[in-house]
Amino acid sequence: MKTVLLLMSTIRFSVPLIRYMVIEGRRYGWKICVGSMFEPKMADQLRHEKFSKDVVFINITDYRQCVLAIRKVDLVIGMLPDAMLLQVADLCIANKKSFITPARLNRQMLSRKPQIEENETLFLMECGFAAGLDHITAKKAIDNIHIRGGRISSFKSYSGNILAEDSIDNPLEFKLIDTAADTIQIGRQTNRQLIKGKISHIPYQHLFERAESIKISGLKDLSVIPEGDALYCKKIYQLNEADTVVKGRILRSEFEQIWRLLINLGMTDPHPKIEMFEFASYYNFLDSLLPYSEDEHLETRLKKFINATEEDILKLRWLGLFDDEWINAKDPTPATLLQHLLEKKFAMDDKDKDCIIMQHQMEYILKGVKHRMKATLVAQGENKTDSATAKAIGLTTGAAAKAFLLDNIKVKGLFIPTTKDIYEPILAELVDLGVGFHVEETIVQGYSIDEERIINV
């Protein structure tokens, strides 16, 4: 009997993955263990789920217990923050265990590649939604075009998770699908695009100023910001001949517009410590971020210095920046204040639904003819627990784990799912689970080709 250990630090996004692994465990005779990392209440939160009777819960309060759990299993799946992830990865290396995670591949993990290869184990990273599902589906389509002799000149990939329209109940059209801390980190990584052969670097403070509208069938008022390193995508996707490569994040336009103002105000800055003394309030702090004036009201200066509209000011009021309250925290920063307000105002209710969106746009030349292809995925969650985001992460990670346990992924070493021998078995399972992209393909001269799913392109 094979044993799988799922290590988790929070119940967020965890339930669909655990449920999937339990269902597959019953089918193939696997033992499924869930280790709650420093979160003793997790097991209690999961016990009402029907699958709980088929799960062995392990309460891990220190890394010594983690070592004991890892030694007894065939595969470790990690749904953990980066700080915990590296320590768990080191324990897997020390005990020669394979490891799968939706977490992003970083330099610290790359430095461990020789040890992983020496152990002849598999470390498969970026198996979530984005990154993860985007790699798998984009690379499949790209490889199929290359196999047919096509030459890709332009590749654009956009993704995002937004609040479903029937769950919108605030003027920002936003709730915390991800954590408040993760939301504040939007755009903080390297943002580079390749446009007609020219590299474009987008500084964080100008990221939302470059937002553009995007049309997705069945959805309205969406924007996309140029977030991510397109040059990294060009390399890992082997887009050697492409002169345009773009990565972006899809957001609701109402949120995008107010977030741009918050960045301009400095509210996402995690560094400066705030000292308001006896004047501590959100209103006075907001006032302190703008140039002093004896005769101009705060609203007037917001319009003057950050080009806020009356509607924008109403949204800032709704957010709580005009309140006389203050956060109870030692040495708060602007980002700390914003995180507090987001958690207070934008928590997901149990019945709230999210919506995930992913779209790949490609232009390529095949036999002297220019083609345009657009592949789109839109899926809506059921509720806060079974959200579309949680399903996309859980099913992609779970499909990777299943492929490994059934020996359908045979490679060893440190990888992300961009090679055929890795992405094909994962994608085959996702298709069986109902994950499908709608694909439109046209010839530039004007007549269309039959629509088909991305797996057949």
CA distance 126 to 105: 7
The C-alpha angle with vertex 285 and arms to 183 and 223, in degrees rounded to 5, equals 30
The per-residue pLDDT for 338 is 97
The per-residue pLDDT for 450 is 47
The per-residue pLDDT for 444 is 86
Per-residue pLDDT of the chain in tens (457 residues, 90 and over written 9): 999 999 999 998 999 999 999 999 999 999 999 999 888 888 888 988 999 999 999 989 888 899 999 999 999 999 999 889 999 999 999 999 999 999 999 999 999 999 999 999 999 999 999 999 999 999 999 999 999 999 999 999 999 999 999 999 999 999 999 999 999 999 999 999 999 999 999 999 999 999 999 999 999 999 999 999 999 999 999 999 999 999 999 999 999 999 999 999 999 999 999 998 888 999 999 999 999 998 999 999 999 999 999 999 999 999 999 999 999 988 899 999 999 999 999 999 999 999 999 999 999 999 889 999 999 999 999 999 999 999 999 999 999 999 999 999 999 999 999 999 999 999 999 999 999 999 999 998 754 444 444 443 3
Dump the DSSP string for 220-240.
-SEEEE--SBHHHHHHHTT-T
Pick the CATH number of 3-124 from 1.10.3720.10, 3.30.930.10, 3.40.50.720, 1.20.1250.20: 3.40.50.720
Nearest to 98 by CA among 420, 425, 411: 411
CATH number of 133-257+350-384+435-456: 3.30.360.10
The per-residue pLDDT for 455 is 40
Helix (H) or strand (E) holding 152: strand 151-163
> Cα-flanking dihedrals φ and ψ of residue 311, to 5°?
-65, -40
The per-residue pLDDT for 391 is 97
Same fold, 3-124 and 133-257+350-384+435-456: no
Q: Where are the domains of the chain?
A: 3-124, 133-257+350-384+435-456, 280-332
* Half-sphere exposure at residue 95, Cβ-oriented, CA atoms within 13 angstroms: 20
CA-CA distances (angstroms) from residue 129 to 133, 256, 394, 396, 406?
5, 21, 9, 7, 22
Question: Is there a contact between 274 and 332 (Cβ–Cβ < 8 Å)?
Answer: yes
Question: Is there a contact between 204 and 188 (Cβ–Cβ < 8 Å)?
Answer: yes
pLDDT digits (tens, 9 = 90+) for 66-99: 999 999 999 999 999 988 999 999 999 999 999 9
